[in-house]
Amino acid sequence: MSDTVGKVIRCRAAILWELKSKMKIEEIEVAVPVKDQIRVKIIYNALCHSDLHVIDGSLKTRLPIILGHEATGIVESVGDEVKAFKTGDVVIPLYQPQCRKCAACQHGDTNLCTSLSFSNEGSHFTCRGKQVFPFMGLGTFSEYAVIREHMLVKIDPRAPLDKACLAGCGLATGYGAAVNTAQIRRGERVAVIGLGGVGLSAIQGAKNAGASAIYAIDINSEKFDSARKMGATHCVNPRDVPKDGKFGSWFIKNFGAVDKSLECIGNVQCMKDAVEIVERGWGRAVMVGIAPDGATLSFNPGHLTIGKTITGSIFGGWKSIDDIPMLVEEMRKGKIEVDPLITHRFDLEKVDEAVELLKNGKSIRSVISLSKL
């Protein structure tokens, strides 16, 4: 790699020029990293539903943009202020940073580092003289990306990079929401609504935490096989609710209330259902999915009076730099399973096929190959 150090790199990337359109594979320029910046050769990137939220306009961002935030890569070169990384380090980019300096980083109860300034930052990508923005400060659907030091973590170089990329978002988000935010304990009854990469990882978290019953809920019954593989004990399709019935009361009548529920879609109605179906007194409903910009959630405050806890979770509650290498390690040892989540693999040219599959509920995670190792 040394022949690229100190020079602008020309490489391929997938650019979204307009909303609701296909990404285009373009040749771009990636700037030389300065100060605390690190230039990373991206090896794999899995497609997540948050990328789709940008394409369909429900998550507002600037255009043109390079999507991607669930990746693994290798450090190509570093800026002059970088201390903890060197060329050749194997890394996972982090959209949820950990600066260790802000009030949140110093607080034991949150992972929401407030150094998150990427929305106001410029870009290190250009295409035909035009600036192209990196999604969430990363933009990893590119063969190279420039990322700040506190948004990157080193992992064990022996880790399988095509799988470890899932620890950069979906797996960490779902698994952590179950073990950290829902705080599922041995013997508890759990419901997970939405069985994509995030929901299935929440199921695995619930299973590893010792849940006695795990209800996997989705309107797409094709997801149930994967849910069972991850540890679901019951699969429930809300389309089976009688026309005049409501999901919450129907669920409780048939299965009973649960100790913990996790909404892994970003659908406000499903969030209300998650509140309905938890036990009075101690039930906890965790909102994991990201609702569209401008959405509001309303529910009867009586749910709070009778002791339910309603909370949200970002990046599974993990302190990203401290915790993600541990997740990758558990993955490497087989304590956390990733294979059932990876349904497709594509080269970058085929990234739009991956988008179509995810949109149509035909895939869980498509892993896209970028640079060769």
Helix, strand and coil percent figures for the chain, each rounded to 5: 30, 25, 40
Q: How far is the CB of 215 from ligand APR (least distance, A)?
A: 12
Catalytic residue (one of 11, 169, 264, 270): 169
Query: In a 10 Å sphere around its CB, with 0-12 CB exposed, 13-18 middle and 19+ buried, how is residue 58 labelled?
Result: middle
Q: Do 73 and 91 form a contact (C-beta atoms < 8 A)? A: yes
Residues of this chain, 275-314, that bind ligand APR according to CB under 6 A: 288-290
Report, in Å, the least distance between residue 199 CB and Zn ion.
13
Both tokens of 249, joined, read 């009361």
Residue 238 interacts with, from ligand APR, Zn ion, none (CB under 5-8 Å by kind): ligand APR
Per-residue x/- mask for ligand APR, residues 95 to 124, rule CB under 6 A?
------------------------------
Which region among 60-68, 81-89, 196-204, 299-307 touches ligand APR (by CB under 6 A)?
A: 196-204
d(CA 122, CA 120): 7
* Binding partner of 61, given Zn ion, ligand APR, none, CB within 5-8 angstroms per partner class: none
Query: Is position 50 annotated as part of the catalytic site?
Result: yes
Shortest Cβ 220–ligand APR spacing (Å):
4
- Given ligand APR, Zn ion, none, residue 64, with its beta carbon under 5 to 8 Å by kind, binds none
Residue whose entry in the numeric block shows the structure tokens 């989705």: 218
d(CA 183, CA 282): 12
Question: What CA–CA distance (Å, rounded) separates 290 from 369?
Answer: 26
344 binds ligand APR (CB under 6 A): no
* Residue 132 and residue 15 in contact, taking contact as beta carbons nearer than 8 Å: yes
Q: Which amino acid, 288? A: V
Of 16 and 82, the one with the shorter C-beta distance to ligand APR is: 16
**42 vs 169 by CB, closer to Zn ion:** 169
- Binding stretches for Zn ion (CB under 5 A): 48, 50, 169
Return the range that interacts with ligand APR (CB under 6 A); candidates 152-160, 197-205, 295-303, 349-357.
197-205
Contact yes or no for 263/254 (Cβ under 8 A): no
Among 194, 231, 316, 325, binds ligand APR (CB under 6 A): 194
b/e per residue 233-243 (b: at least 16 CB within 10 A) = bbbbeeeebee
Annotation marks residue 53 as catalytic:
yes
Q: Residue 340's binding partner, choosing from ligand APR, Zn ion, none, with beta-carbon cut-off 5 to 8 A by kind?
A: none
Q: How far is the CB of 169 from Zn ion (least distance, A)?
A: 3
Strands (E), the chain: 9-15, 24-30, 37-46, 65-66, 71-78, 90-93, 125-127, 130-134, 144-148, 152-154, 189-193, 213-217, 234-236, 260-263, 284-287, 309-312, 342-347, 365-369
Q: Is 48 a catalytic residue?
A: yes
* 155 vs 256: CA distance, rounded Å: 42
CA–CA dist 82, 293 (Å, integer): 35
Counting contacts by CB under 6 A, is residue 264 touching ligand APR? yes
Is 69 one of the annotated active-site residues of the chain?
yes
Contact 158, 327 (CB under 8 A): no
Residues of span 32-71 touching ligand APR by CB under 6 A: 48-50, 53
Nearer to ligand APR, 184 or 227 (CB): 227
Binding mask 203-242 for ligand APR (x = CB under 6 A): --------------xxxx--x--------------x----
Cβ(144)–Cβ(39) below 8 Å: yes
Site membership for ligand APR, residue 195 (CB under 6 A): yes
Q: Which residues are catalytic?
A: 48, 50, 53, 69, 169
Residues that bind ligand APR (CB under 6 A): 48-50, 53, 170, 173, 193-199, 217-220, 223, 238, 264-267, 270, 288-290, 358, 361
